[in-house]
Amino acid sequence: MTWATREIAGWGRVLRAEAALARPERQRTARALAESAPAPALGRRRSYGDACLAERAMLTERLDRVLSFDPETGTLEAESGVMLGDLAARLAPLGWLPPVMPGTGFATMGGAIAMDVHGKNHHHAGAFAAHVDRLTLATPAGPVEVAPGDPLFALTAGGLGQTGPILKATIRLARVRGDVMMVTERRMADLDAFCDALDASDAPYTVGWIDATATGPALGRGILEEGEVARGLVPPAKRGRTVPLDAPGFALSAPVVRTFNAAYLRRVPARGRTVVRPIADYFFPLDRIHDWNRLYGKCGFHQFQCVVPMDARPALRDMLARIGKAALASPLAVLKRLGPGAGHPMSFPVEGYTLAIDLPARDGADRLLAALNAATAEAGGRVYLAKDSSLTAEQAHAMYPGRAAWAEAVNARDPERAYETALVKRLRLREAA
Amino acid sequence: MSAPQTETWLILGASSAMARAMARALAAEGAGLILAGRDDDDLAALAADCRFRGATRAEAMRWDARDPATIAPLIHRLAQAQGVVSAAVFAGSMPPQAEIDVDPALIAGVAADSFTGPAHVLSRVAPLIEARGAGTIVGVASVAGDRGRVGNYVYGAAKAAFATYLSGLRNRLNRAGGHVVTVKPGFVDTAMTWGLPGMFLVAPPEAVVASILKAVRRRRNVIYTPFFWRYIMVIIRAVPEPIFKKLSI
C-alpha cells in the first residue's frame, strides 16, 4: 500500500494532525510518487510546531543511504532522509563531521536544508545550506538538479519544503582533528556579561545555557560553553534511554526547575573548567534520552526561538524578565550569537543574538508566547519557523521581508499548492499579502 | 561481533527493507557483501552505503529469481571470495490472493520468487560451504507458511515449501560444518505491510535483523521473530481443521 493514515505531531506535541503518509524505500518509488501525487516531504519530525505537519506527505526516513563519500576531499552525497547524528557517528573517526549540526542528531539532511538549520558554529560556518554543493528535487516533471546560484536553490534553502521533496544532496564536510570535544565552561553572572563573552568568543563552537528562572540582578546568568574538536580517549558509548511514559505535570513545575537550574549552574566551579566529552554528547545532549519530549507531560510544550539584532540587548533583557516572571520556563534555554545570514528569503539565521527556550503548554503559555513574539517583532528580530507554534501571519510576514517574492516564485512552480504544510497554511506564507 | 573480517555474505533480494538492515549490520562488522536483486540502481546505492558503513567490499549484482541464467555469475563471484562464505535469502513476492484466484498463472511466479528461485541459488552455494567446512545460510520463510489461510495461501504454500527445503539443507550442511537458520518473521514494518489494514505488533526491520544475527551466532535452527510469534503460531496450528476452515484470520 502507498498510503497509511497516522496521527503525527510536532516535537512539542501541542500541534497534531491526521495525515496520509507515503514512505518510499527507493529513489525510484520516491520519484514515481512525486510525479503522481505531489506532497511535501517530512523527515524525522523534529520541528517543534507545525512545520512538520501536513494532511498528506512523503516520509523520507527510509531514504537514508550514503551514496558516495570521498575521504580526501570530504565531499559526501546522501539520500535526504539520512540523519546527521548517524553521519557524525560514522564520520568523526574518519576525521570529518557534518559542517553544521543542530541540537538533535535525529534531524535529517533534507530537513537541515529545508529549515537551513544552524549550529553552535554559525558565527564561523554559517547555516547548513551554505555547505550544500548540489541537491536533487523531486518534481512532477521528474528530478531536477539544483546548485547554489540557481534561483531555485535560494527558494529551497530554508524554504520549508515548498519547492518539493529533496531526494538527495551533496555536502562538503568539515575536517576535524579528533573525535572528542574539549569544552571550556564558564559561569556568566548576568546578561551583559553573557553577551560580551559571546561577542568576544572565537572558539569554533560556542553556546550558552541560560537560567531562564533567574530574575533581578541575576537576570540572564548562565554558563558559556566553548568547544573544539580534539583527539583523546573516546569514553565508552552510553546506551540511550527512553522516556517510557508522559511525565506528570509537577515534574517541570516552577520550583523544580528553579532548584534544578541553580544546581546546574553551580556544577561549574566559579573559576570555570575544561572537560572532555564525546562528540555526540556535546552536540546532541538530549538525544541520549529518546522521546525526551514526553518529560513535558501529555499537554506538550512550545519552543520559542528568536534572533534579535546586536543592538537589541534591552529587548532580550525584557524578554528574559517576562519569562522569569511567568514562571513557565524549563531548564532548556539557550543563548547564542549568530553570524551574518545567507540571504535566502526564508532562512532564519541573521546576525544577532538568538534566544531559545522551552515553555510547557500550561496556563499562561499562550499569553507569554504572544508577548515574546511581539517583543521580537518590535526589536526588528524574527522567530524561527521550525520552532514556531504561535506567530500570527502578519508577524511572520513582517519578520521575513523576502517572503512575498518567495511565495510568488514558489507558487509559480506549484500552483496547486501541493507542498503546503500546516505551518505554511497557518501563517499564510504563500499568500500574496 | 562474531563475524570474522573475512566473511563474505551473498544477500538475495537485497532491495527489501529487511535485507537492507541485514546488509548494514553486516557492513558494520566489516563483512564483504554481494547484494543481489533486480533493482540495479537501488542495489548500487545500498552497496555504496554499506562501503561507507564499514563493509570490506560491497557490490551489486543482478539476480532475478525467475531467470536461472543470472545464477552462475553470482556463484562465480562468491567462489572467488577468500574465507567463509554465507548467504541470506530475503526474496519473495506476495500478490493479493484475490488476484491469484482470478489468474492462477500467477502461482508459478510466487513459487519462483519465494521458493524455487532462492532454492536454486542455495543449492549452488551449498557445495562452497561444504568445501570450506564453514558458512551460514539464513533463509527467511514466514509465519504464513505454518498454516494455509484464506488471505494468502499461495504465498504461504511457497514459504512452507522453502522452510521444508531449508530444513533438509540444514540436515545436509550440518554434516560439513555449515549451518542453516530458518527465520519466520511475523509482521515487519516494510513497504510490503505499510498501510495494510489489520497489522498489529509490527516489528522494525532492524529489530528483526538483530534477532537473526543473534540466531546466527548461537547456531539456532528455527526462529520466530519477534519471539512471541512462536506462541501465536502454536495456537494457530493447534486449531482443529474443522474449526479453522470456518475462520478468517
pLDDT average, residue stretch A90-115: 96
Asked if A172 and A188 sit in the same domain, the reply is: no
What mean pLDDT comes out for the span A25-36?
A: 96
Closest C-alpha among B104, B114, B100, B10 to residue B66: B114
For residue A133, what pLDDT is reported? 98
- A69 to chain B, any CB pair closer than 8 A? The answer is yes
Task: CATH number of the domain at A107, please.
Answer: 3.30.465.10
Is some CB atom of chain B closer than 8 A to the CB atom of A94? no
- Calpha distance A188→A262 (Å, rounded): 13
Residue A406 lies in a domain: no
Return the residue matching grid coordinates 474449526: B243
- Both A130 and A239 in one domain: the answer is no
In chain B, where the domains are located:
7-244
**At residue A155, what is the residue type?**
L
The answer to whether A26 faces chain B, any CB pair under 8 Å, is yes
pLDDT over 90 for what percent of chain B? Answer: 92
End-to-end CA distance of chain A: 40
Cα–Cα distance measured from residue B246 to residue B229, given in angstroms and rounded to the nearest whole number: 22
Task: In whole angstroms, give the CA distance from residue A168 to residue A134.
Answer: 9
What is the arrangement of strands in the sheet containing A301-308, beginning at the earlier edge strand? A273-278, A180-188, A222-230, A205-210, A333-338, A352-360, A301-308, A382-383
Assign A245 a pLDDT band (cuts: 50, 70, 90): confident
Cross-chain Cβ contact B195/A3 below 8 Å: yes
Which whole number is the average pLDDT over B122-128? 98
Give the span between the Cα atoms of B147 and B153, in whole angstroms. 8
Whether A379 maps to a domain, the answer reads yes
Q: Is it the case that residue A294 has pLDDT exceeding 90?
A: no
Does A49 reside within a domain?
A: yes
Q: Which H/E stretch holds residue A275?
A: strand A273-278
Higher pLDDT, A247 or B168: B168
CA dihedral A240, A183, A296, A64 (to 10 degrees): -50
CATH number at residue A280: 3.40.462
What residue type is assigned to position A420 of the chain?
E
Residue A123 and residue A154 in one domain: yes
Number of C-alpha atoms within 13 angstroms, CB side, residue B190? 20
Whether the predicted pLDDT of B8 surpasses 70: yes
Q: How many domains does chain A have?
A: 3
- List pLDDT tens digits, range A368-406: 999 999 999 999 999 999 999 999 999 999 999 999 999
pLDDT of residue B3: 45
* Chain A to chain B Cβ contacts (< 8 Å): 47
C-beta separation of A387 from A406 below 8 A: no
Residues A240 and A140 in one domain: no
Apex B100 CA angle, B38 and B20, nearest 5: 30
- The closest of A395, A389, A414 to A156, measured between CA atoms, is A414
Q: Are A366 and A390 in contact (CB under 8 A)?
A: yes
Residues A50 and A88 placed together within one structural domain of the fold: no
- A228 and A309 fall within a common domain: yes
**pLDDT, position A234:** 57
pLDDT higher than 90, residue A46: yes
| Dist. CA A364–CA A373, nearest whole Å | 14
Instruction: Flag whether A431 is in a domain.
Output: no
| Nearest CA-CA distance, residue A1 and chain B, Å | 5
Residue B197 has pLDDT above 90, yes or no: no
Q: Are A235 and A333 part of one and the same domain?
A: yes
pLDDT of residue A329: 73
B45:A27 CB<8 A: yes
In this predicted structure, the answer to whether residue B1 has a pLDDT above a threshold of 90 is no
- Residue A144's φ and ψ, nearest 5 degrees, are -125, 130
Q: Alpha-carbon distance A7 to A119, whole Å?
A: 30
Query: Are A73 and A152 in the same domain?
Result: yes
Query: Are the beta carbons of A62 and B17 separated by less than 8 Å?
Result: yes
| In-domain check, residue A399 | no
pLDDT at B4 over 60: no
Quote the domain boundaries for residue A312. 180-392
| Shortest distance, CA A81 to any CA of chain B (angstroms) | 13
Determine contact: B110 vs chain A, CB below 8 A: no
Give the lowest-confidence range in A228-237, A285-294, B73-82.
A228-237
Categorize the per-residue pLDDT at B2 as very low, low, confident or very high, splitting at 50, 70 and 90: very low
Distance (Å, whole) CA A169 – CA A147: 10
ipTM score here?
Answer: 0.92
What pLDDT, on a 0 to 100 scale, did the predictor assign at position B49? Answer: 98
Same domain membership, residue A353 and residue A255: yes
Q: What percent of chain A has pLDDT over 90?
A: 80
What letter does residue A252 receive in the DSSP assignment? Answer: G
Q: What is the mean pLDDT of chain A?
A: 94
Residue A190 has pLDDT above 60, yes or no: yes
Helix (H, G, I), strand (E, B) or coil at B241: helix
Question: Please, what is the average pLDDT of chain B?
Answer: 95
In Å, how far are A48, A138, A334, A358 from A329, measured between CA atoms? 16, 41, 12, 7
pLDDT tens-place string over residues B65-91: 999 999 999 999 999 999 999 999 999
Contact between chains at A65 and B39 (C-beta distance less than 8 A): no
Q: Which three-class secondary structure state does DSSP give residue B210?
A: helix
Residues 6+ apart with CB under 8 A from A378: A315
Residues A212 and A284 in one domain: yes
pLDDT of B32-68, one tens digit each?
Answer: 999 999 999 999 999 999 999 999 999 999 999 999 9
Q: How far apart are CA B44 and CA B37, in angstroms?
A: 10
Q: Does A260 lie at the interface with B, CB-CB under 8 angstroms? A: no
A305 shares a domain with A266 = yes
CATH topology of domain B7-244: Rossmann fold (3.40.50)
Judged by DSSP in three states, A357 sits in strand
pLDDT on residue B105: 97
A186 and A270 inside one domain: yes
pLDDT-derived band at A235 (thresholds 50, 70, 90) equals low
Query: B190 vs chain A: nearest CA distance in angstroms?
Result: 9
Residue A346: CB partners within 8 Å, gap ≥ 6? A116, A158, A159, A160, A385, A400, A402, A403, A406, A429
Residue B37: half-sphere exposure toward Cβ, Cα within 13 Å: 27
